[in-house]
């Protein structure tokens, strides 16, 4: 069998095998759901008569306020007897599972650590007495246990525990282990099909050039153009079938070995994703026919008169150039798509330096006024009064599970300070004056785009209890706000949804007019502030935030005992931005790994290309050897060819991938029209440059030993 055929078969096999193995691993994980649920009931049993309540944990690994979704504790007042231990929980103590921290991949705190639990009414403090070795999180299942006496002292909304069966718990474990695989499932299939296609095209181009004289002879003795087409098609289908069979069998053997080596993790054994094997079977002929179609134009150009030619086969780099360009282009497309979408979620620099939350109950306005009298390193500190209000007419949000109806809403932010936002409609001076003098508002450009609003329109609100308001829009600002309001715990209060159409900046009087709650129930829950530039430069965002947070806690503690019922958390805009970027890079990076792994597979095509190139240059190499060229110098010639092809492939892939990424961004933005996300085009040059270097390294890893092996002959 020719080298070009071996490379094509291996390429198809690896592409197919990767899909079958990864999705088989997902199916195997899902197959364990019943066994995992049974183990949960054995190792973390909950008494039928237990009481449960939900809390948010103010947990700070390495002293940092957590960014992202909150850490949730489902606390059960229950006797706890696990399979291996019987826990006697003392008053004021708790027993936790590893799963509580696994939900955010955090290190488990040591025994004796104090946990801060934030309820709906106040903040509670419990000391960890023991840790149960259970690591799989399950939403709604208790991950923290307290005594009945401790539960009685915690004045919160306790409810009766509804005992769960294995069948009810099992679905909660079916999707968790395969979440990352499922996220990239479509990309995985697309990249696998593209990789197989590219290597087949490369093989067919090389095959046609190598058999050019043979095809010409067949044309001369009567073979029709249809016969040539059938010959090319047969070769493409044969290579694809061989690669498909090899890939499926090898992946199943590898999966079986992986499961056998982890029998504890996979007690139910291996499960095969027949659906994805079927998808590969359906895609295989499509890939083969497409590859043959691409190569057919070259085959049909062979003339019968070439049968008399004695020339050596030409160097044929086009197939490998296309393959490498497609592989690197897929990587670039993912990076451009992700970066362009993520740019709308990084908080704008015009947002204040930090938000301080005083939750769950807040404090009085008098205490806030005293805090404002002076905090070290703070240039401006003002009260921020958040209130989510439904938009008129009511439009119900899609919900998961049962519960109160939730509607599209606006996040009113009342303050006597308007930060230095960038206005795209209206002027700052006129807008500030208008919101002080009446029920007017300033909205973001995102919200205006999503709801088709403009300067001078009315923002209509349904405040509940029959109260409706219309706020005149007196300014539009260009502002990214999603993550800073989420991380700052500004939205999702008072049983409102965490989703909102955006912040609406108003006066305190307007917030009070829109608030249907009795005045006695309203407390001050948030502040926002700007640091002194020198203070921020000296300490940095993290240390500056901890200093200011401690000062606020001390000030409130000296003035009132209410602070004991709250948790004070400072959320720095720059820390939120860093966390957002890090999370985005993690998600994009995990998706970009798929095409990048297949670039390595595509690099196998250099073997076939270099062998064919060496065959076409036999006479030239003999002459060079005769005049004194060393084998190393001949190898350098072949390596240079590989680098040239890789370089051009990267250049073409960069522009093609950027175009595809931009088109995907436009399509995704159109699908998310209700969010008002602005059009953007971001090319992460540093990441792409690293990817280009990695692609060149892959090419060298294949080209160098191949070239050395060729010239030794």
For the stretch 302-353, pLDDT in tens is 777 665 566 655 656 777 888 888 888 888 888 888 888 888 888 999 999 9
Mean pLDDT within 462-467 = 85
Q: Are 361 and 566 in contact (CB under 8 A)?
A: yes
Percent of the chain with pLDDT over 70: 92
pLDDT of residue 340: 85
User: Model-level pTM?
Assistant: 0.75
Q: Are 187 and 14 in contact (CB under 8 A)?
A: no
Q: Are 477 and 424 in contact (CB under 8 A)?
A: yes
**Could you report the per-residue pLDDT of 390-443, keeping only the tens digit for each?**
999 888 887 655 467 889 999 999 998 999 999 999 999 999 999 999 999 999
Q: For residue 209, with 0-12 CB atoms within 10 Å meaning exposed, 13-18 middle and 19 or more buried, which class applies?
A: buried
CA proximity to 462, closest of 396, 414, 519, 506: 396
In which band, very low, low, confident or very high, does the pLDDT at 177 lie, cut at 50, 70 and 90? very low
- Supply 200's token pair: 């087949």
Mean pLDDT within 357-379 = 82
pLDDT of residue 183: 55
Residue 55, pLDDT above cutoff 80: yes
More confident residue, 276 or 51: 51
pLDDT of residue 516: 77
Q: Are 79 and 44 in contact (CB under 8 A)?
A: no
By DSSP bridging, strand 467-478 and strand 422-425 are: antiparallel
pLDDT of residue 145: 93
More confident residue, 12 or 213: 12
pLDDT of residue 697: 92
Distance CA 251, CA 12 (A): 12
**Torsion sign, CA atoms 155, 160, 166, 171:** negative
Distance CA 687, CA 580 (A): 17
- Residue-averaged pLDDT of the chain: 84
Mean pLDDT within 495-500 = 87
Mean pLDDT within 672-698 = 84
pLDDT of residue 528: 93
pLDDT of residue 84: 53
Mean pLDDT within 671-691 = 81
**Partners of residue 356 on adjacent β-strands:** 527, 570
More confident residue, 569 or 712: 569
Distance CA 176, CA 546 (A): 35
Mean pLDDT within 193-219 = 77
pLDDT of residue 594: 77
pLDDT of residue 95: 92
Distance CA 383, CA 525 (A): 8
Quickly list DSSP for 558-594. HH-GGGGGSEEEEEEHHHHHHHHHHHHHHHHHHHHHH
Instruction: Write down the residue that tokens 């947990």 correspond to.
Output: 59
Region of 464 please: left (phi>0), alpha (psi -120 to 50) or beta. left
In which band, very low, low, confident or very high, does the pLDDT at 158 lie, cut at 50, 70 and 90? very high
- Supply 403's token pair: 């519960």
233 CB-near residues (< 8 Å, 6+ apart): 288, 289, 292, 296
pLDDT of residue 444: 94
């Amino acid at each position: 069998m020719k080298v070009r055929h071996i490379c094509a078969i291996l390429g198809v096999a690896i592409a197919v095998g990767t899909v079958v193995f990864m999705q088989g691993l997902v199916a195997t994980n899902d197959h364990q759901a019943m066994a995992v649920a049974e183990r949960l009931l054995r190792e973390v049993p909950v008494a039928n008569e237990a009481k449960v309540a939900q809390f948010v944990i103010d947990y700070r690994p390495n002293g940092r306020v957590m960014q992202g979704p909150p850490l949730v504790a489902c606390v059960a007042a229950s006797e706890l007897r696990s399979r291996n231990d019987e826990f006697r929980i003392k008053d004021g103590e708790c027993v936790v599972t590893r799963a509580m921290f696994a939900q955010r991949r955090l290190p488990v705190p040591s025994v004796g650590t104090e946990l801060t639990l934030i309820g709906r009414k106040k903040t509670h403090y419990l000391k960890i007495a023991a840790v149960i070795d259970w690591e799989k999180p399950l939403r709604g299942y208790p991950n923290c246990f307290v005594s009945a006496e401790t539960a009685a002292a915690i004045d919160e909304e306790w409810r009766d525990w509804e005992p769960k069966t294995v069948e009810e718990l099992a679905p909660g474990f079916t999707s968790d282990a395969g979440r990352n695989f499922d996220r990239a499932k479509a990309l995985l299939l697309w990249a696998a099909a593209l990789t197989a296609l590219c290597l087949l095209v490369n093989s067919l181009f090389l095959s046609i050039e190598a058999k050019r004289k043979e095809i010409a002879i067949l044309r001369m003795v009567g073979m029709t153009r249809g016969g040539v087409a059938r010959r090319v098609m047969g070769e493409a289908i044969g290579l694809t079938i061989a690669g498909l069979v090899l890939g499926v069998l090898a992946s199943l053997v590898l999966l079986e070995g992986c499961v056998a080596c982890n029998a504890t993790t996979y007690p139910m054994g291996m499960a095969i994703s027949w659906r994805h094997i079927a998808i590969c079977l359906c895609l295989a002929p499509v890939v083969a026919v497409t590859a043959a179609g691409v190569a057919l134009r070259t085959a049909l150009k062979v003339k019968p008169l070439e049968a008399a030619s004695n020339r050596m086969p030409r160097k044929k780099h086009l197939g490998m150039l296309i393959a490498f360009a497609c592989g690197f282009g897929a990587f670039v497309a993912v990076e451009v798509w992700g970066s362009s979408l993520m740019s709308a979620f990084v908080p704008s620099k015009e947002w204040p330096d930090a938000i301080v939350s005083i939750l769950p109950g807040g404090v009085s306005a008098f205490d806030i006024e005293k805090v404002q009298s002076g905090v070290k390193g703070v240039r401006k500190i003002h009260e921020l009064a958040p209130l989510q209000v439904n938009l008129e007419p009511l439009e119900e949000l899609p919900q998961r599970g049962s519960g109160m109806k939730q509607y599209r809403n606006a996040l009113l932010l009342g303050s006597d300070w308007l930060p230095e936002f960038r206005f795209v409609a209206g002027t700052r001076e006129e807008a500030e004056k208008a919101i002080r003098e009446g029920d007017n508002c300033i909205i973001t450009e995102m919200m205006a785009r999503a709801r088709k609003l403009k300067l001078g329109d009315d923002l209509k609100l349904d405040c509940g209890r029959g109260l409706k308001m219309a706020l005149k829009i007196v300014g539009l600002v260009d502002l990214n706000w999603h993550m800073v309001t989420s991380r700052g715990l500004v939205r999702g209060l008072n049983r409102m949804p965490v989703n909102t159409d955006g912040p609406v900046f108003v006066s305190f009087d307007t917030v009070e007019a829109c608030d249907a709650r009795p005045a006695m129930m309203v407390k001050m829950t948030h502040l926002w502030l700007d640091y002194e530039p020198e203070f921020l430069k000296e300490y940095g965002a993290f240390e500056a935030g901890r200093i200011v947070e401690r000062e606020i806690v001390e000030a409130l503690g000296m003035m009132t005992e209410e602070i004991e019922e709250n948790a004070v958390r400072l959320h720095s805009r720059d820390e939120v931005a860093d966390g957002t970027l890090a999370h985005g890079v993690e998600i994009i990076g995990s998706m970009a790994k798929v095409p990048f792994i297949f670039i390595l597979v595509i690099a196998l095509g250099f073997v076939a290309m270099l062998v064919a190139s060496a065959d076409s240059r036999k006479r030239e190499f003999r002459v060079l050897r005769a005049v004194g060229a060393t084998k190393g110098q001949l190898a350098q010639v072949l390596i240079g060819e590989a680098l040239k092809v890789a370089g051009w492939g990267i250049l073409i892939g960069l522009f093609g991938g950027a175009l595809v990424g931009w088109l995907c961004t436009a399509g995704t933005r159109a699908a998310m029209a209700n969010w008002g996300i602005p059009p953007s085009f971001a090319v992460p040059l540093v990441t792409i440059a690293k990817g280009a270097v990695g692609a060149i390294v892959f090419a060298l890893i294949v080209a160098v030993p191949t070239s050395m092996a060729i010239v030794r002959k």
